[in-house]
Amino acid sequence: MKQASRKIGKQAVNSKPAGAAPSAESAFASYAAPLVDDAIEHASAVREDASPEALHKLRVSLRRLRSLWWAFEPLLDKGENTRQRALYKYLATAAGKTRDWDILIELITQDERVAHDTAPRLQEARGGALATSRETLSNADVKHLLQDALTSAKKELNTAHERVPLQKFVDKRVAVSERSLKKRIKRASHAKRSNYAAFHDVRKAGKKLRYLLEFFEPVLHGNRKRTQKRLKQIQKRFGTLNDVVASEMLLRDNTGLLAGSGDADAALDWLRKERKRRMRAAAGLLRKL
């Protein structure tokens, strides 16, 4: 994925004749088109492939699209941009509902006793979620939705009267994203351990910045290796925290699945302890950033 991002960036830089500085408007399609193609391919694969990996790839591709549309927000119609990003979020959530069950099942298997009693019913629930995900994605007609979004954005940018130098534009957008991450890290550093929302905001801001660096690294000013190292740490530490928090919420919302036994209580107790452990680990990383 990272090599593909570098290739896209080089294509954007070379999208103008020699001697002409590429504009953000003219470079947009070279960033967006491969991402749209990836998302369409992954959405098609999910119809046949029910594996956790297929769903994960689709959700990631849609998140990357949402981040790219955010990056180009200043150049696009605000209302349309908001609608498109909401669409990508909606589709990612549809894929994510099944993925959430996969994560819960994976976590629960770490406790053999709890897993033995709960796994069959959780797998059944996962099957129901997959059917719903597939139906939602099929009804949404992902291919045409994404192609229409790309066509609309390209038309708007290609007919724009002004042109913004690509390097100047991406430097500014990455700087905005970096400031947003710093602000959220500071807020989470002073938040109470019970304030998971503050920790979640750090994760989201870090993920957006990571995607932008992947997109624009070939044309950015300066070396971002130190930033990328921090982002990897955030992604790993805060990602594992988010997994257990989301799994705990999912199980609480579906305790009826394990009704009539102590399985739900045992699973929730294990997840609660794991959440506290991972929250401490995330807070420890914040102190080092």
Going from N- to C-terminal start, the domains of the chain cover: 2-13+21-288
**pTM confidence score:** 0.87
For 209, the token pair is 């910045």
What local confidence, expressed as pLDDT, does residue 113 receive?
73
Q: Kindly state the percentage of the chain with pLDDT values over 90.
A: 65
Q: How confident is the model at residue 262 (pLDDT cuts 50, 70, 90)?
A: low
For 140, the token pair is 């949404």
What local confidence, expressed as pLDDT, does residue 258 receive?
73
What local confidence, expressed as pLDDT, does residue 62 receive?
96
Task: Give Cα separations from 269 to 111, 173, 241, 248, 252 (angstroms).
Answer: 11, 43, 16, 9, 11
Q: Which of 82-86, 121-125, 175-179, 202-206 has the lowest mean pLDDT?
A: 121-125
What local confidence, expressed as pLDDT, does residue 232 receive?
94
101 or 262, greater pLDDT: 101
Environment class of 208 (CB within 10 Å of its CB; exposed 0-12, middle 13-18, buried 19+): buried
Environment class of 186 (CB within 10 Å of its CB; exposed 0-12, middle 13-18, buried 19+): middle
What local confidence, expressed as pLDDT, does residue 21 receive?
75
Tell me if 85 sits within 8 A of 69, measured CB to CB: yes
Residue 191 DSSP class: S
Q: How confident is the model at residue 281 (pLDDT cuts 50, 70, 90)?
A: very high
What local confidence, expressed as pLDDT, does residue 47 receive?
85
Q: How confident is the model at residue 1 (pLDDT cuts 50, 70, 90)?
A: low
Phi then psi dihedrals of residue 195, to 5 deg: -85, 75
Q: Which of 4-13, 66-75, 94-103, 117-126 has the lowest mean pLDDT?
A: 4-13
Q: How far apart are CA 256 and CA 73, in angstroms?
A: 43
Tell me if 173 sits within 8 A of 212, measured CB to CB: yes
Helix axes 112-140, 78-108, angle to 10 degrees: 150
Please compute Rg for the chain using Cα positions. Answer: 21
Tell me if 271 sits within 8 A of 248, measured CB to CB: yes
Query: C-alpha angle with apex 244: 243 to 246, nearest 5 degrees?
Result: 70
Span 101-138, pLDDT tens digits: 999 999 988 877 777 777 788 888 999 999 999 899 88
| CATH code, residues 2-13+21-288 | 1.40.20.10
The dihedral of CA 228, 223, 288, 185: what is its sign?
Answer: negative
For 117, the token pair is 């009693």
**Mean pLDDT for the stretch of residues 276-285:** 94
Q: How far apart are CA 193 and CA 280, in angstroms?
A: 8
Q: Hey, is 161 helix, strand or coil?
A: coil
